[in-house]
Amino acid sequence: MKEQQTATLDTARVQVRPARPILREAPRGHVVTAVHLLKALLEAAQDGRLEWSLLDLANAAACDVEMARRAVASLEAIDHVLSVDVHRVPAEQPWVLTWAPETSIVNLMLDWDLLTLEISVVELSEWLGASLPVTARALDWLALEPGVAVVRTGSDPTATVLIDIVLDRCPLTAETLSAVG
């Protein structure tokens, strides 16, 4: 029997195929972390405010409280204001997280090489993908930054806003300048 198998193998044509690359790790889907969850909840909130606790976040994100604490602490301080010290707050104590995409406005201007931007609040809101109250808050926060001037022509959403940035005086752009030059 072994002779027949050997004879068959010897006479059969063997096709050699080129070797395929072997993936060491299979591609994985996007893992939703506590940070992703927080950002999604803030974006979904019409006013950009979230009232939660670390315990709520940990349960919703399927992680432990310390991981939830690190997630909240990792948020960009310029765009997020927290009502408590996240490093000391008890897990069950509620806190308020407020969001305004201030850095997104600056990034828009830097991407378009603009030191001055004149745009309606509605258009800016659409570009940011944020509600009008969140956009208004972002403009208010941006106006408080050194080296930035924000002037609105009115209070309604169709009003135009003029944003002027002095690159070397604004802390949001000074880092960019030092990295480039």
Residue 172 is predicted with a pLDDT of 82
CATH 3.30.56 in the chain, residues? 34-99
Query: How confident is the model over 77-89, as a mean pLDDT?
Result: 94
Class of domain 102-180: mainly alpha
pLDDT range class, residue 18, cuts 50, 70, 90:
very low
Q: What is the CATH number of domain 34-99?
A: 3.30.56
* pLDDT score at 32: 60
pLDDT mean over 59-67 = 92
Q: Which helix (H) or strand (E) holds 71?
A: helix 65-73
Residue carrying structure tokens 């809101």: 125
Bigger pLDDT: 113 vs 6: 113
Is the entire prediction scored with pTM above 0.75?
A: no
Domain with CATH 1.10.10 in the chain: 102-180
Q: Using alpha carbons, list the distances in angstroms from residue 106 to 41, 47, 144, 165.
A: 23, 21, 13, 8
